[in-house]
Amino acid sequence: MRIGIVNDMPLAVEALRRVISQAPAHQVIWIASDGIEAVRLCGEQRPDVVLMDLLMPRMNGVEATQRIMAEFPCAILIVTSDIERNMNQVFEAMGHGALDVVNTPSLGDSQAVDAAALLRKLHNIGWMIGQQGGKPVTAPTQTETTRKPERIVAIGASAGGPASLVCLLRQLPEDFSAAVVLVQHVDEVFALGMAQWLASESKLPVRLAQPDDRPLPGEILLAGTNNHLVMQANGCLSYCKEPTEEIYRPSIDVFFDSLVRNWQGDAVGVLLTGMGRDGAQGLKHMRERGFLTIAQDRATCAVYGMPKAAAAIEAAVEILPLDQIAPKLVKYYA
């Protein structure tokens, strides 16, 4: 992949160059020392992926991410030396379309773990942006059509998801009558911080989903590990490693399909902004089961990938602007 580096620290830039050089398929095509220069260089020579630092003297990484995704869209990986300290900015950048975050590697041998993580995330991003079509998924057989009173809203999101989730959750009232389960593409080390951040913006309580949790009305559960969240036949949640070949962990498709197999109440599937195709087939299976399915529209997506894939296969009953999705849910479950 062709890579642009945005960082004003020479040692950090050199560390990134050395890590990238370990993978012959990757090439650094330019280096920017601040966000303003990064936006200009993306316009002149658009890379496949940008390694974006957060703290810079001119135009920080959050604003640069927003500008690049608006003007010259490409994959952006946040690279920062202190993820926990900069967690709010990380989620802001992800809200504007950044795909993921990783620690900045150093020049010392002790940072081999960070180097390996960076290469793994570059590999995953390469797979996402180079994906041609999706893996075939056989629609699960469902013979039980009787609905029980339980209600659930299943929401999947990826790049741009944090900001979209905040916008949606803010509009749900305190007496919302359905359970809500979120599957956002985010590493488990950031999941707790994201749950706390979403809780601070929502009228409803938000926490990480735990094994054997039963989704309850008026509560929001967030998938919290790098394994897949699934609904079991007894109506409780669990985590599983399979399918191991899924590049997205946790996978939206896996969760949606588990609802199709095992959920005996009513359900709504919602697919928000994101790169790639995860969630599109699962949303289609939910529609085939008779559930209401909603995809975010192009105009309000930070990255129109997953909803576009859903629209292409007619997986969504309705395609709505972001600010109309929560009102639809509230009216549907009134």
One DSSP character per residue, 260-329 reads: HHH--SEEEEEE-SBSSSTTHHHHHHHHHHT-EEEEE-GGG-SSBSHHHHHHHTT--SEEE-HHHHHHHH
Distance (Å, whole) CA 235 – CA 278: 23
List 34, 114, 278, 297, catalytic entry: 278
Residues 6+ apart with CB under 8 A from 176: 204, 217, 218, 329, 330, 333
Q: Token digits for 236?
A: 């409780």
Q: Token digits for 170?
A: 């803010």
Q: Which letter does DSSP use for residue 194 in this model?
A: H
Contact present, 269 and 295 (Cβ < 8 Å): no
List 33, 48, 114, 158, catalytic entry: 158
Angle between helix 112-130 and 10-21 (nearest 10): 70
* Cis, bond preceding 243 (omega within 30 deg of 0): yes
Burial string for 112-144 (b: 16+ CB within 10 Å, else e) reads eebbebbbebbebbbebbebeeeeeeeeeeeee
Residues facing 2 on adjacent strands: 27
Distance (Å, whole) CA 166 – CA 220: 12
Q: Which letter does DSSP use for residue 218 in this model?
A: T
> Do strands 206-208 and 179-184 pair parallel, antiparallel, or not at all (unpaired)?
unpaired
Q: Is 285 a catalytic residue?
A: no
Contact present, 172 and 329 (Cβ < 8 Å): yes
Q: Is 110 a catalytic residue?
A: no
List 185, 228, 258, 297, catalytic entry: 185
Positions annotated as catalytic residues are 158, 185, 278
